[in-house]
Every structure is written in structure tokens, then in C-alpha cells.
A = this chain, B = another copy of it.
């Protein structure tokens, strides 16, 4: 039982008292913030505070006589440990006998019951589904209930750090130009207004960044736009004089973050008001119900047109100025990781057994020296041996392994820089390895290189290409239980959309057609529980190949240039073309990275590490 969970039973008792007082039968505590962010600020860690579970994905449901926490396969072991003694039942999502949250609500909410949740913390899409399940069962949904604030007496304040202005050179496009493009989309959809809640989109649109969420340079904010005004809702403390000047220059009205709901209510037409009758019929608010919270939705629901945020795809397509910055940032970032790999190999060859945590700290420190460094883009995954089989393993000061002189070590890391967001994984031999390890490593490298080598016609999505990365593993009955690739933000979230590289078809999930200027990760892997984990991850940019009478052909270019460990390559598992791809890649690594490395030992090692196989 950890320190935190000692307090858990009493917190849940207190929650039950409040529920009883309010007449609530079932209370749900999600893990999100009002902007459906992947990571959330400390202020929003309600589920963690009440349950003691610290994983990034988890939903708590509390009733009079039970409390349950739903999380996914990445966190089963951690959740079991953290929930011990809490009285909370773990629901392992995706296991055959586990009810989904929706199924659980359906079976446990009865006639006359009250289901409650803080409507700011669930999306409109989810809220509407819960609402319909609850009313099917003749019960009531309350979405205004923030019971946690009453229990969490030392709750931190919501982060309100000052915003950073991104100049046009770094953004590659001015704010008025971006706003103009969004207004074109509003006209296309005959929308009078646009409500934008997704923080990455707001940062992109207004050429700003924030520091309110760890690893994600965003500021807590909303945008309300019409065809002739743009209102930004930002916490007062976030608005520096420089930012104020930027907003004034770009004709953006800045209003307090907290005032957004009241402001929004006032902007909606008033029913039955004679003066507004004409307006009411015409008035339409564009919003993405996957990315708008249920409380905001409640205000606009009579007028809403549900459309995927056009800003999401605009943000995903990089302009040439951005690409220039990104390419430079990636080469610097790659050089640091290359030097780090040498550092680990060298330490091992000297008979040292460094620990996962301290070498992660070393890498983080090296990365922080790169010009333009802001912060890490996610906590570094530094995993030796069997730990690497856990996709989201995190070594901590208190809990980590030492590297032994055999097998493999995996490091997945990245930074936020002025000029780009990086994400890269390499797996290296730290001593003797088995034939099986070499085979799996080689097949993963082949998959990564073949996907990067693809040429495809306009109209393809990631689902067309995924098999290039997985194909050779699938032929041996092996799969990795995650997507092959995700979009990568530009000084924004490192895992972003809407594009992605996955294989599984889902009738209700829209896919995004790949476009020139998008960036995407390419990260196949092999994970053998209790034994080892392999992942090789490069970030790719999509570029034009040619346009002819057969169509518009696109392909990829590598952004990441870090050696792929030749000690783990077994050419028996490669076609001649695969070998050519590896050698061509290594030649590019050498020519891009060598000029950035001064140390003679490091240079010698890089030259050897990039020799043709």
C-alpha cells in the first residue's frame, strides 16, 4: 500500500456522504479536463486524488456499496498495486468478462436513480451517450456536480502561466490568414459561430503557446469566433504585455477564462424574443462534439452543427517554414540521442551497470542543452530487459532496474523545442543477445524502413499503409498491441491526430486522408511479456513524389536520424531492398549527424555504427 492510498477509504467515505446529501446514486470521476486533453494539469487530477491510481487513463465510479476503477492493459499491474487496500474494484478494460463503463451504468442505474458527473470533464459525445442510457432506465443525469472540490481541501490552483507568442517566422502563417481559413470553413457549413475548446487547436490558431500542462505547451483557453470577431478566453495571469500587444495587433478580444460559460449563454439567441426571431432560425454554432465538453454543449445544443474541428486538420498540415524548423530541430535532437546511445554502450563496455532512472536523467539533461529546448515532450521511457515489454514503463527514482551486460535496452524520448516536437525510440544491445532477439529486432527495423519507403496515391489513410510495418511480423504470427503511428504536434501534443497509422477497421471511426506536410510516427515493435521489448521509432514527414495522369503520388522522408543498432541486425531476415534501405538510411544518419558531433570517440563510434551491412 503506498502513502497516497492510506487516505483513499476516507476520501471515498466523504464522497459517499456528499452523494447521499445530494441524492446521487452513482458518481463518475473521469480523468480529463474541460478540453479533453491527453495529459491534464494537477488541478484536474480528481480521479487520482480520490482513487490513488496515478495512471493516465482511468475512470472511477462510486456507488453506495461499491467503487470501481476502469483502466486499460497498460496499467493493470500498476493499478492493482496502487488500489490495494482502497476498497476500489479494478475493472480491466478489454478483458472478455469486464463490462464497459456504459454496460456497467446500464446494469446498475435503476428507476428513479440519479447519475452524476462533472459535465466539464466529459465530451458532449460521451455525455449524450450516458444521458441516453440513464433515461432508458428511467433515471436522471446531473452534469453540474463537482463533489471533489469539497473533499480535496488542498486542491492546487488551476495553472495560469503566462503565454508565449510565436512569431510569424516560426509559425509560417499569420493569425489573420489562419482565421480567414477557419471563416471559410464556417461559411461552407453556414455557421454563424464557432466554439473551439481543443487547446492544441487554439494555440495553433492564435500563434501562442502555454505552460499549463506538463509536456504540452498549451494554455487553458476557449475561443468563440463569429464571421467578424474572435474572442479568446484566457486566465488573466496568462496575459503578458507582449501577449496583449499580439492579441491587439491581430484584433482578438481577450476575456477571462472563467467567464466563458456565461458569455456563451449570452451569445445564444433568446427564444420567443421578437427581435431575435429571424436570427434564431439562421443561427448555427459549429462545434466538434468529440472535443467539446458536455457543459458547453448544454449551452449551445439547440444551435449546434457537429463538425470535426477544421482547425485539427489545418494544424496537422505543416507549411514549408514549419518543416524547415522541424528538420533542423530533429537533426539536433537526433545528434543528442546518438551521443546518448554511445554513452550507454560505452558504460556497458566498461563493465558498469547504470540504472534506468539515472541514465534517463542523463539523457534529459543532454537534451535540455539543445538550443530552443522548452521541456520534454513526454516522460522518458528508459527500460532494460523485460521492462521494455511494458509499452508505457516509467523508471522512477524509487523503482527502477539496473542494466545488466546482456540483452537489450529501450529508450523512448522526445523534447518540446521552439521549432518542433520530437519523439524517437531506439533499442540497443547492451551485451550478448539471442538469435531470437536479433530476428525480432531485424523484422521491426524492416517494418519501420518499408513503411517509410512507401509511395501512395492521394486518397490513402494510415490503414492503407500499416501492413508495410506489420507484414513480416504477421507472417510469423506476431503483432504489437498498439498503432504503428500517430501524428506529432508542432510545439504541441506529441501524440496528436487526426492522421494515424493503424490497421483495424472501425465502422464508426472516421479516418484522415494523408496529405503532404503531415508528420507521423513510424514505430513497430515486438513485446514479449517478462522477456524483452523492441521498438524502433522514427518520425516521418509526408512529401510529394509526383503528379501525373495516374494521380498525385506521395511518400515519406525521415526526420529522425539515429543509428539502428547493427549489433542486432540479422540480414537473413532482409530482402536485398531492405538492406539497401538500411544502408541508405545509415548513410544519411552519418552525413546529417557527424557534423554536429565534436568528440573524437563519439565520431568514430558513429562512423562504425552507420557502416553498410
Residues on A close to B: CB < 8 A?
454-457, 459-461, 463-468, 471, 474-475, 477-479, 481, 503-505, 507, 510-511, 513, 545-546, 548, 550-551, 553, 575-577
Task: With A455-B474, A466-B464, A503-B457 as known contacts, state yes or no: A479 contacts B550, CB within 8 Å.
Answer: yes
Is the beta-carbon distance between A454 and B477 smaller than 8 angstroms? Answer: no
Looking at the assembled complex, report how far the CB atom of A552 sits from the nearest CB atom of chain B, in whole angstroms: 10
Question: A467 contacts which of B468, B481, B553 (Cβ < 8 Å)?
Answer: B468
Additional 10 contacts, C-beta under 8 A, given A454-B467, A465-B467, A467-B467: A454-B474, A455-B474, A456-B467, A461-B505, A467-B468, A479-B550, A481-B550, A505-B513, A507-B510, A575-B576
Are A477 and B577 interface neighbours, CB within 8 A?
no
B-side contacts of A459, CB under 8 Å: 503-505
Closest Cβ of chain B to A444, distance in Å, is 14
Task: Given A503-B460, A505-B461, A575-B577, check contact A545 B454 (CB 8 Å).
Answer: no
Chosen A-B contacts, 21 in total, with CB atoms closer than 8 Å, are A455-B474, A455-B477, A457-B503, A457-B504, A459-B503, A459-B504, A459-B505, A460-B467, A464-B464, A464-B466, A465-B467, A467-B468, A477-B545, A477-B546, A479-B551, A505-B511, A505-B513, A507-B510, A507-B511, A575-B576, A576-B576
| Chain B residue with Cβ nearest A481 | B550
8 A-B pairs with the lowest CB-CB distances in the bound complex, closest first: A459-B504, A479-B550, A575-B575, A455-B474, A455-B475, A461-B505, A477-B546, A464-B467
Contacts of A464 in B (CB 8 A): 463-464, 466-467, 503, 505
Contact A474 B553 (CB under 8 A): yes
Cα distance A474–B460 in the bound complex, in angstroms: 12
Copies of chain A in the complex: 2
CA distance A569 to B461 in the complex (A): 32
Closest to A511 in B: B505
Q: Select the residue from A455, A460, A467 with max chain B CB neighbours within 10 A.
A: A467
CB of A292, distance to nearest CB on chain B (Å): 21
Task: State A465–B464 Cα separation when bound (angstroms).
Answer: 7
Q: Is the CB of A457 within 8 A of B479?
A: yes
Contact of A477 among B471, B477, B481, B550 (CB under 8 A): B550
Collect the chain B residues with CB atoms within 8 Å of residue A468's CB: 467, 471
Task: Note all chain B residues with C-beta closer than 8 A to A471.
Answer: 454-455, 468
Which residues on B sit within 8 Å (CB–CB) of A467? Answer: 454, 456, 460, 464-465, 467-468
How distant is A195 from chain B, measured CB to nearest CB, in Å? 23
The interface residues of chain B lying within 8 Å CB-to-CB of A553 are: 474, 477
**Measured CA separation A466–B454 after assembly (Å):** 13
